[in-house]
Amino acid sequence: MTPMSSPLHPSETTNPDQPFLSLITGSFSTPAGGNPTVAMVEAAYRDLGLAARYVNCEVSTSALADAVRGAAAMGWAGFNCSLPHKVAVIEHLDDLSPAARIIGAVNCVVIRHGRLTGENTDGKGFVEALRRAQDPAGASMVVLGAGGAARAIAVESALAGAATVTIVARHLAAASALAHRVAEQTGAATSALPWEPGMPVPAADILVNATSVGMHPDGEAVVDIDLDSLDPATLVADVIANPPRSRLIREAELRGCRTIDGLGMLVAQAVVAIELWTGCTPDPAVMRTELERIFSV
């Protein structure tokens, strides 16, 4: 049987003085079992020839503090935080990057000389993936959802020059709070709308699903908007990475829209994280290929 991923050989180390010591990174989340990041990141490490590992850890809310202390004690270079730890981890860190401070959530922690700095690479990853299809500068954007991913996307898109950002969420208070935060921190023009079931899609250059609707195992679910009101000129982006061809992506393409799937954001946010942890720039094509192999895209 062919192994899923061959472990790094010690001869691949970049530090000949410490041939048997790997650089350790990983992820803390729950549930962790369906998160494909480990395969993508280790494919990048192998391609770079780095003696580095990424460990996907199931970490409960009550174990988060110990997990963070453990990573620092073992000399990890850093770790990702995913659901539900992106906000809770902040109280265990020494510092926040400017973006993480504005967004109010951390998905990537860098450990240097025992100091833990919280970063947010989700929004940067989204903007990087978006730029391959369309420059957000000057664009009008509608973001569905007001959770962690929506916050990161709205803030970084506004910092990248989006002209207007409209937040649509089931709880108007959450949408308004995010719209206010983005306007205050970035100077972009923002607005908030309550999510009415079956509502027409507000006119925009870019529509982003930043909710968890359509995520595995509910892969056939789709956001409750009137898809027939989609303008074919609108670029539709989905944060859902599993399944990559979400129903929203398929429905939007059927209506003539250009689309961006969640794999682009997943790869691009990990590229930034790997640069922060290792100082090396990985090849995004290698990472995307590994994800496509896993998902048989």
Catalytic residue numbers, as ranges: 86
Report the alpha-carbon distance of residue 237 to residue 243 in Å, rounded: 14
* Cβ distance to ligand NDP smaller for residue 51 or 152: 152
The residue count of the chain comes to: 297
Report the alpha-carbon distance of residue 278 to residue 13 in Å, rounded: 12
Q: Which stretches of the chain bind ligand NDP, using CB under 6 A?
A: 83, 122, 125, 145-150, 169-171, 174, 195, 211-213, 215, 239-241, 262, 265-266, 269
* Cβ distance to ligand NDP smaller for residue 50 or 154: 154
Half-sphere exposure of 72 (CA within 13 A, CB side): 17
Smallest distance from ligand NDP to CB 90, Å: 14
* Cβ distance to ligand NDP smaller for residue 218 or 231: 218
Q: How far, in Å, are 60, 76, 130 from residue 83 at the CA level? A: 10, 20, 23
Smallest distance from ligand NDP to CB 146, Å: 5
CB–CB of 123/157 below 8 Å?
Answer: yes
Smallest distance from ligand NDP to CB 139, Å: 20
* Cβ distance to ligand NDP smaller for residue 51 or 102: 102
Residue of minimal Cβ distance to ligand NDP: 147
DSSP string, 145-160: --SHHHHHHHHHHHHT
Measured in degrees and rounded to the nearest 5, phi and psi for residue 233 equal: -80, -10
DSSP string, 196-234: -TTEEPPP-SEEEE-SSTT-TTSTT---SEEGGG--TTS
CB–CB of 34/56 below 8 Å?
Answer: no
Smallest distance from ligand NDP to CB 125, Å: 6
Smallest distance from ligand NDP to CB 14, Å: 27
* Cβ distance to ligand NDP smaller for residue 25 or 269: 269
